[in-house]
Chains A and B, each alone.
Chain A
Amino acid sequence: MTVDAVIVGSGPGGSAAADVLTAAGWSVVIVEKGRNHLLDPDDPTRPSTDYSNDEIKFLSRYFLGPDPLVEPRTFRTGEDDGDRVHVGEVNSVPTTVGGGGTHADGKVPRFMPGDFRMLSELGPLPGAEVADWPLTYDELEPYYAEVERAIGVAGLAGANPFAGPRSSPFPMPPGAPMFGALQSTAAAERLGYHPYPAPTAANSVPYDGRPACNNCGFCAYFGCPIHAKGDPVALLTRAMATGRAELLSETFVPRIRFEGRRATGVDLLAADGTERFLAARNVIVAAGAIETPRLLLLSEVDHPLVGRYLMVHFQTIVAGGMPFRTWSERGRSVTHVHDDMIVGDEASRQAARDAGLPWIRGGLVEHAGAAMPIMEAKHYPRGTVHNRLMADSPIRKKLWAFTMQGEDLAYPTNRVDLDPGFRDARGYPVARVTYRPGPHELAAHEHFGPRLAAILDEMGAEWTTVTSSPGRGNAGFTPESVPESRHNMGTVRMGTDPDTSVTDPWGRLHAYDNVVVADSSVFVTSTGYGPTLTLAALSARAARHLV
C-alpha cells in the first residue's frame, strides 16, 4: 500500500499538515518516535487523561521525553571545543505525540510584517546571514488566521500596537490576567512600554468541545490535564476524525528512501525492533529544527546548508524580588508580554552604534514568576536554612521576572550535524549542536537587560538580577553555554535560490520533488517571537500547496 503522505513528527507542524491533507481527502500516516500520551488509544479522536499537575513526572523524570540516556544529544560551542563538550539534554523539545505543543504554555504570537523583510528593512549585519523570507506577512496571514481558529487562540486584537494587520479577530477573548502581570504591565506602561495580553492557545471559554482553562498553574513544561490548550491536540483529533489518518507512535524513521528526484517512502523502526518500509507519494518532515536536519543527514540529502544557521532565542532573564506575593502559581504561566524590545528606539540604535553594529533587536518579553516548589527548593542551600527559605519563599512567592526571547541571528557556524561518536539506543548517530552567540545577541542583551530591570524597579522590586541563557562569554565551555531555549529554528532554510537555501518557499526540498519540510527548520530569521504559530501556519500553507 502506498499512502498519499507520510508525516514524520506529530507536533504543531506535522499536525497542521495532517489536518490540511486529510481534509483534502489524502491518506496520511503520522509517524511519531515518542509515546502517545495525548490521544485516547482506544479512540484517537479524543484526548487522553495521562497529563497531571505533577512536578516530578514532568520536570524531573522526562515524562514527555526525550530521555537523555537513550536519546542524547551532544553539544559544543565551536569546532575549537573538539568533537563535543557535553552529552545529554540539548535544546530538548518533547518527544511525544503532540511534540512541542504539549509542553508549551501556549503563547502563539504572530511575527510582525517587517520580520519577513529583515535584510530589506535593516540591512546586513557582518558575520550573520541576514536575509528576507521568500514570502510576506500578507501571504502568510490567511494561514495564521486559519491555525488560530483551529487551535483556539485567546487574545485581544488591537492591544499590541506593533502587530500586523489581521483579517479576523482572535477566536476568543484573553483569559484571566495573573496578579503579578497586572503589576508588571502597569509598571511597564508607566515607563512608556506597551504590554498586552499574550495571544495564547489556551481556551478562555469553552471552544471546539474543549473546556476553558481553569488556571491550574501547571502550564509551561506540563501537558494540560483538561486539554484547554489546543495546540496541537485540536489539529490531531480533527485529522484522526476524518478516518484518513493513521498514527504510529513509538516508531522511529531512520531514513527517507529516494529514487532520482523523488522520495519513495520511509523506513520505519517500531518499538519492538521490527523494521519495514512505508511507501508514500509524499514525505512531510516535521521533526523539529534539530531532528529534521538529523533525518535529512541520515538520509544523505546532499546540500551543504542542511543543518546550518541553527537559531535559538538568546534569552535575557531579569528577575526581581518583590515586597509582596506575586501568586505566580495561579494562571497560565504567562498572561502578558510586550514587544517594545523588538521594535527598538533611539537608545537601542545608539547601543548598536556603541557596539560597532548596524542595528540590534531584542525579543518578545514575557512577564512571569516562578511557581514550582521542587525547582525552588533546588535553588536554596541545604541545611537548617532550607526550610526557612522555603517558607519565606523569595523565589516562588515573591519573585517576578521578564524573559526576553532575544532575536538570534543566523550564523553558518551554528549548526546541527551528526555526532561521529555518540548514538541513540536504536543505534543511530545523534544530533550534535554547535552553537555560540554572536556580537549581536550579546550587545542586545547588554542593552535591554538593564531596561527590563528598570521596569521591575518601577514595580517595587527590592533587588534585581540580569542573567542570560546561554551564559555570556565567548571563550570556552561552561554548563551555561547550552541554551535553555527550546525555540529551535533555521536549520533547513527556505528561499528561492538553491545555492543559498535548502527548500523552496513552500518548504519543498530544492533537490526532491515530493519532500516537504513543515516545521521551524525552514525559518530564515528567528525573529523575537516563539515559533509555534508561524511554523504551523507555514505547514498549513505548504500542505495547501500540495493538494
Chain B
Amino acid sequence: MPSWLTEEERRVLEAACERTVPGTEDGPGAVAGGVPDYIDGLLGAFTVDPPRIWARGPTSGRAGGEAAFASFHPLSPLDELAWRMRIEGSQGLPEREFNGPVVGLQERYRTGLAALGSDFCELDRVGQKDRLAADPDFAELLFHHCCEGLYGAPEYGGNRDGAAWRAIDFAGDVQPRGWTDAEVAEP
C-alpha cells in the first residue's frame, strides 16, 4: 500500500478517523476497518504505477473468478490530469489551471491534520469533536472517505478482510456467482 503521510500525520489521521466512525459492538471502527490505509493510499496513488485509482475487473475472486481487483487500470492522459489535479492540486501549473487554481486532497489533508493539532490524539472525546467541528469542510471530507474506506472493496486499502461488509450483512461484489432467480424473488 503506498504511503504519503508522515508518521505524525498518520497518527493524527488515525485518531480523527476513529472519532468520526468509532468501532462499536455493531462493527469495526475506521481504524480497524483500514480507513487510514484507504486515505493514505489515495493520497499516494501516484507513487505506484499504475496509480491506485480504479481496480480492474470483472471479478475480485471473492465469489469466484480471478482476483482481478488486485491490479489497477492504467490511466489515460486525461484521466491522469484529472486525478493529479484532484490529489496533488494545480500547483501553479498552467495545464492544470485552465479554470483557476485547484486545491488538491494532499494539501487539504496536510492542512486539515495540522489544524487538528499534534495533541489531537491526547484529547478526550469532546475535545476531539470540537477540533473536528472547527473545520466542517475537512470533517466532511474525512467522513466521506471513512464511508468509502469502510464499505468499499478491500483492494483500495480499507474494509480490512471485508469485516465491514460482514458487519452489515452485505455480500459485496458477487460476480461471477450473482444471485439465483429464487434468491432475488424469494430471499
Consensus secondary structure, chain A interface: loop
The verdict on B76 contacting chain A, using a C-beta distance below 8 Å, is yes
With A179-B185, A391-B167 given, is the CB distance from A425 to B152 under 8 Å? no
Q: Which of B98, B99, B179 contacts A215 (CB 8 A)?
A: B179
Chain A residues positioned under 8 Å from B143 (CB to CB): 378, 382
Q: Nearest CB to that of B181 among chain A residues?
A: A176
Taking the closest CB of chain A, its distance from the CB of B16, in whole angstroms, is 11
Q: How many A-B residue pairs have CB under 8 A?
A: 189
Known A-B contacts: A62-B82, A373-B170, A427-B98. Give 9 more (CB < 8 A).
A57-B54, A69-B82, A179-B187, A214-B176, A215-B178, A330-B187, A373-B165, A391-B167, A423-B99
Q: Which of B58, B99, B167 contacts A390 (CB 8 A)?
A: B167
Number of B residues contacting the other chain (C-beta, 8 Å)?
66
User: Which chain A residues numbered 345 to 400 have a C-beta less than 8 Å away from chain B?
Assistant: 373-374, 376-378, 382-384, 386-388, 390-391, 393, 396-397
Stretch at the interface among B1-9, B24-32, B107-115: B24-32
Q: Are A52 and B77 in contact (CB under 8 A)?
A: no
Q: Nearest CB to that of B33 among chain A residues?
A: A387
Query: What are 5 of the A-B contact pairs (CB < 8 Å)?
Result: A49-B57, A215-B179, A271-B76, A387-B27, A397-B169
Give A388 to B86 CA distance when docked, in angstroms: 32
Q: Are A55 and B24 in contact (CB under 8 A)?
A: no
Chain A residues positioned under 8 Å from B175 (CB to CB): 52-53, 214, 216, 218, 225-226
What sequence of 0s and 1s flags, for each residue 417-453 of chain A, a beta carbon within 8 Å of any chain B beta carbon?
A: 0000011110100000000000000000000000000
Taking the closest CB of chain A, its distance from the CB of B92, in whole angstroms, is 16
The verdict on B48 contacting chain A, using a C-beta distance below 8 Å, is no
Chain B residues positioned under 8 Å from A393 (CB to CB): 168-169
Chain B residues positioned under 8 Å from A327 (CB to CB): 184, 187
Taking the closest CB of chain B, its distance from the CB of A474, in whole angstroms, is 29
Interface on B for A, CB 8 Å cutoff?
Answer: 20-24, 26-29, 53-60, 68-69, 73, 76-79, 81-83, 85-86, 95, 98-99, 102, 129, 139, 143-144, 146-148, 150-153, 156, 165, 167-181, 183-187
With A54-B57, A391-B168 given, is the CB distance from A215 to B181 under 8 Å? yes
What sequence of 0s and 1s flags, for each residue 84-108 of chain A, a beta carbon within 8 Å of any chain B beta carbon?
A: 0001000000000000000000000
Q: Are B174 and A378 in contact (CB under 8 A)?
A: no
The verdict on A63 contacting chain B, using a C-beta distance below 8 Å, is yes
Q: Nearest CB to that of A327 among chain B residues?
A: B187
Chain A residues positioned under 8 Å from B168 (CB to CB): 373, 390-391, 393, 396
Q: Are A55 and B153 in contact (CB under 8 A)?
A: yes
Q: Are A52 and B55 in contact (CB under 8 A)?
A: yes
With A177-B184, A179-B185 given, is the CB distance from A374 to B178 under 8 Å? no
With A50-B56, A51-B57 given, is the CB distance from A329 to B76 under 8 Å? no
With A49-B58, A177-B185, A330-B184 given, is the CB distance from A226 to B98 under 8 Å? no
Q: Which of A177, A217, A218, A388 contacts B26 (CB 8 A)?
A: A388
The verdict on A182 contacting chain B, using a C-beta distance below 8 Å, is yes
Chain B residues positioned under 8 Å from A390 (CB to CB): 26-27, 151, 167-168
User: Which chain A residues numbered 170 to 202 have a C-beta less than 8 Å away from chain B?
Assistant: 175-179, 182
The verdict on A499 contacting chain B, using a C-beta distance below 8 Å, is no
Give A53 to B162 CA distance when docked, in angstroms: 14
The verdict on A470 contacting chain B, using a C-beta distance below 8 Å, is no
Q: Are B151 and A374 in contact (CB under 8 A)?
A: yes
Give A331 to B179 CA distance when docked, in angstroms: 8
User: Which chain A residues numbered 31 to 88 have a C-beta less than 8 Å away from chain B?
Assistant: 35, 49-57, 60-63, 67, 69-70, 72, 87
Q: Which of A61, A62, A215, A226 contacts B184 (CB 8 A)?
A: A215
Chain A residues positioned under 8 Å from B59 (CB to CB): 52, 225
Rank and list the top 3 A-B pairs by shortest CB-CB distance, nearest first.
Answer: A214-B178, A52-B57, A53-B173
Chain B residues positioned under 8 Å from A329 (CB to CB): 170-171
The verdict on A132 contacting chain B, using a C-beta distance below 8 Å, is no
Q: Are B58 and A214 in contact (CB under 8 A)?
A: no
Chain B residues positioned under 8 Å from A330 (CB to CB): 179, 183-184, 187
Q: Nearest CB to that of B66 among chain A residues?
A: A49
The verdict on A484 contacting chain B, using a C-beta distance below 8 Å, is no
Q: Are B78 and A425 in contact (CB under 8 A)?
A: yes
Taking the closest CB of chain B, its distance from the CB of A217, in whole angstroms, is 7
User: Which chain A residues numbered 447 to 481 have a C-beta less than 8 Å away from chain B?
Assistant: none
Q: Nearest CB to that of A95 among chain B residues?
A: B78
Q: Nearest CB to that of B58 among chain A residues?
A: A225
Taking the closest CB of chain B, its distance from the CB of A422, in whole angstroms, is 5
Chain A residues positioned under 8 Å from B86 (CB to CB): 69
Q: Are A179 and B186 in contact (CB under 8 A)?
A: yes
For A87, A177, A214, A390, the residue with the greatest tally of chain B CB atoms inside 10 Å of its CB is A390
Give A287 to B37 CA distance when docked, in angstroms: 39
Taking the closest CB of chain B, its distance from the CB of A34, in whole angstroms, is 9
The verdict on A272 contacting chain B, using a C-beta distance below 8 Å, is yes
Q: Are B167 and A272 in contact (CB under 8 A)?
A: no
Q: Which of A179, A218, A387, A391 contacts B173 (CB 8 A)?
A: A218
Chain A residues positioned under 8 Å from B186 (CB to CB): 179
With A373-B165, A427-B98 given, is the CB distance from A250 to B179 under 8 Å? no
